[in-house]
Amino acid sequence: MGTLVANTEIKGTLFVISAPSGAGKTTLCRRILNHFPDILYSISYTTRDLRVGETDGKDYHFISRQTFKKKLDLDYWAEWARVHGHYYGTSAAFLSGSLAKGRDILMDIDVQGAIQILDRFPEAVTIFIMPPSMGALEQRLDSRGTDSRATIKKRMRNAVREMAQKNRYRHVIVNDDLERAVDALIAIVKRCREGRT
């Protein structure tokens, strides 16, 4: 007769990072992935066209609108949204499968997406990145030189809405100094990973 062995496999942790545009989320995510090279990065699917300098499967998985909608009917998406006429989504199978194998995942996602993710993965570790002030945020958006004044105003309005949701997140980091923000983020990830061993 066989011996029953308890399943001691450790499940992975899903880290969800959100921030208003211009708060430094992309830079912080890059630094986290460099510091923890074993963490998987969740690549979203989109129906928008590939832009110059982008790579399919690295920046996004580019798919047709028809394929996206088919997958929507099959409950394929852990979260999805329609933004400026294009669809964006995250594969539920990728998240569930990777977490079940004990892999940690980093998601860089907006507030609405994070709320949907928490419905399916309530144990996700959510982190909101705050700019030091609205003035500093506007200055950062302006200095990028990629957006018109109208776009910057729209991003600022969105930022107010997103920051009003920060209390939904388990952790809030103010990115007033990049190195300090990176250290705070690394400390959160490290603590979560050590806490489950």
Map residue 123 onto helix, strand or coil. Answer: coil
Looking at the domain assignment, is residue 74 inside a domain? yes
pLDDT digits (tens, 9 = 90+) for 103-150: 999 999 999 999 999 999 999 999 999 998 888 888 888 887 777 888
Looking at the domain assignment, is residue 9 inside a domain? no
Find tokens 């294009």 and name the residue: 86
Looking at the domain assignment, is residue 138 inside a domain? yes
Cβ burial of 103 (10 Å; 0-12, 13-18, 19+) is middle
- Give the rounded percent of residues in the chain with a pLDDT score beyond 90: 69
Looking at the domain assignment, is residue 8 inside a domain? no
Looking at the domain assignment, is residue 75 inside a domain? yes
Looking at the domain assignment, is residue 118 inside a domain? yes
Looking at the domain assignment, is residue 7 inside a domain? no
Looking at the domain assignment, is residue 4 inside a domain? no
Output DSSP code: residue 85.
T
Domain total for the chain?
1
Please give the torsion angle defined by the CA atoms of residues 112, 114, 120 and 121, in that order, rounded to the nearest 10 degrees: -170
Find tokens 């945020």 and name the residue: 137
Q: Write the CA distances from 141 to 20, 109, 195, integer angstroms.
A: 10, 18, 37
Compute the mean pLDDT over every residue in the chain, rounded to the nearest whole number: 90
Tell me the pTM.
Answer: 0.86
CB contact at 8 A, 121 and 42: no
Output DSSP code: residue 167.
G
- Separation CA 33–CA 35 (nearest Å): 5
CB contact at 8 A, 156 and 134: yes
pLDDT digits (tens, 9 = 90+) for 19-64: 998 888 989 999 999 999 999 999 999 999 988 888 999 989 999 9
By residue range, what is the domain housing residue 27?
Answer: 14-194
Q: Residue 106 sits in a domain of what CATH number?
A: 3.40.50.300
Instruction: Give me the helix-helix angle, 149-163 and 134-144, nearest 10°.
Output: 140
Which pLDDT belongs to residue 78? 96
Does the pLDDT value for residue 161 go beyond 70? yes
- Separation CA 54–CA 60 (nearest Å): 8
